[in-house]
Structure 1
């Protein structure tokens, strides 16, 4: 079964050739990496919206649904009034946190290197 992405479908044989494609398909989306980072703790929708400034309610909802579909996050609905919904990482989502930490470290080093380059120019 082909996987749907923003650009269309990715054939299974492409995933077999390049496993990075699968990772890219899961985290593709402007806000998904940031959402995953903030879900190191269980959060409610409003909290996420405050933690990810600039994301619209619709886009946040969409990206949360995609992450849930890809089994990276869990959505728990409490049957109360008003409705309460919490988002948390699944085991797959938790296993991605070290990758995000490595990305953060790379980003810090990259930013420092850019600053040093600007000073020498």
Structure 2
């Protein structure tokens, strides 16, 4: 990437530590080739307890955090509860993500559409 042979569309970095969102933003945005920075709080979804994760995300959101839900492999089973949870997360502007390739491909195709 540094010598120009690879030009990615986006880079996702997970940073753990005790740093304020604004300080992290300013640190990353200070690099000359960085055109956009989106700082979000990652919530690891480890079990299909959708109510608990929605409540936790809402608490973080009330503190000004922007959310990305990181689904662990094998957790997402598309039943009514999961679909309601995903719909609510998308309406709130939360991002959906997974390191598991199949889960990621499913999540990347989920969108909200208005039905008349």
TM-score by length of 1: 0.27
Answer 1 or 2: which has greater strand percent. 1
The structure with more helix, counted as a fraction of residues? 1
Whose Rg is larger?
Answer: 1
TM-score (norm 2): 0.28
